[in-house]
Structure 1
Amino acid sequence: MKLTVECNAINERNTFSNGDVLTGQLIVEVSKKTTIKSLTIKAKGKASVAWTETHGEQQVTYWDEEKYFSQTESILPNENSNGSFTLSPGRHTFPFVVQLPSNDLPSSFKGESGKVKYHLLAQLSRSLRVPSKAKTEFAFVSRPDALLPVAMAPQYGVKDRNVTFFASGNISMNIFLEKTGYQQGEHLIVKGEIVNSSTRKIVPKYIIYQKQSFFAQGNRTVHTSNIVKEKDAALSSSTRQTVSKILTVPWGATPTILNCRILKVEYRLKVILDVSFTKNPEIKLPLVILPACDGAMAKALEACQPQKTNYVH
Structure 2
Amino acid sequence: MTNRILAFGICFTGYRELYCCGDTITGEVVLELGQDTKIESIDLCISGVCDVHLHSKCTVQAEYQADDDACPLRAREIYFEKSLQLYPSKSANEDTLLKVGRHAFYFEASLPATNLPNSFEGSLGYVRYVAKSILQTSQTELEAKRAFTLLGDTYDINLNQGSLERFNVSRSYIPTHFWFRGKGAVKAVATVPRVAYCAGEEIPMSLDITNDSGHKVKKITATFLQSMFCRIGRKTKTSVKQMSSLEFKEIREEKRSTRSSELIRIPAVAPSNLVNCDLIELAYELVISVAVTTMVMTKKIVFRIPIEVGNVPLQNNPEKNGNTLT
TM-score normalized by the length of structure 2: 0.75
Find the counterpart in structure 1 of residue 191 from structure 2: 175
2:223 corresponds to which of 190, 198, 207: 207
Q: 1:111 aligns with which of 116, 122, 126?
A: 122
Task: State whether residues 204 and 231 of structure 1, in contact with CA within 8 Å, keep that contact through their aligned partners in structure 2.
Answer: yes
Gap regions ≥5 residues in structure 1: 292-299
Distance 1:109-1:96 versus aligned 2 partners, 3 A rule: same
Counterpart pick for 1:242 among 248, 259, 274: 259
Q: Deviations over 1:6-52 (max 9, x none)?
A: 123476xx322222221110112334555555433211111111133
Residues 188 and 207 in structure 2, CA contact (< 8 A), matched pair in contact too = no
RMSD: 3.3
Structure 1 position 198 matched with structure 2 position 213: yes
Cα distance in 1 for partners of 2:133, 2:158 equals 36
Over 3 Å counting, the alpha-carbon distance change for 1:96 and 1:302 in structure 2 is farther
TM-aligned CA distance change 1:73 to 1:248, over 3 Å: same
Among all aligned residue pairs of Structure 1 and Structure 2, give the percentage whose two residues are the same amino acid: 18
Among 4, 9, 14, which residue is 1:4 paired with?
Answer: 9
Question: 1:265: how far off?
Answer: 3.1
Quote the residue 1:301 is aligned against.
313
CA contact (8 A) 2:157 2:196 kept: no
Q: What's 1:122 paired with? A: 133
Q: 1:237 to 1:288 in 2, by over 3 A?
A: same
State the one-letter code of the partner of 1:159.
Answer: S
For residues 209 and 228 of structure 2, the distance between their equivalents in structure 1, rounded to whole angstroms, comes to 31
TM-score, normalised to structure 1's length?
0.78
- Between 226-235 and 71-80, report the one with greater CA deviation: 71-80
Corresponding residue of 2:63: none
| Maintained 8 Å contact 1:200/1:237 | no
The aligned runs of 1:1-313 (5 Å cut-off) are 1=5, 2-9=7-14, 14-34=17-37, 36=39, 38-52=41-55, 62-76=73-87, 77=89, 80-81=92-93, 87-125=98-136, 128=138, 130-150=140-160, 152-166=163-177, 168-170=183-185, 171-184=187-200, 186-191=201-206, 193-202=208-217, 203-226=219-242, 227-236=244-253, 239-250=256-267, 253-258=268-273, 259=275, 260-276=277-293, 277=297, 279-289=299-309, 301=313, 303=315, 305-306=317-318, 308=321, 310=323
Structure 1 partner of 2:67: none
CA contact (8 A) 1:212 1:266 kept: yes
Q: Is the alpha carbon distance of 1:244 and 1:238 closer, same or farther for their aligned partners in structure 2, counting shifts above 3 Å?
A: closer
Q: How many residues align?
A: 294
Distance 2:115 2:252 in 1: 47
Verify the 8 A CA contact 1:212 1:263 in the aligned structure 2.
yes
Cα distance in 2, alignment partners of residues 86 and 257 from structure 1: 51
Letter in 1 for 2:227: K
Query: In the alignment, residue 12 of structure 2 is paired with which amino acid?
Result: C
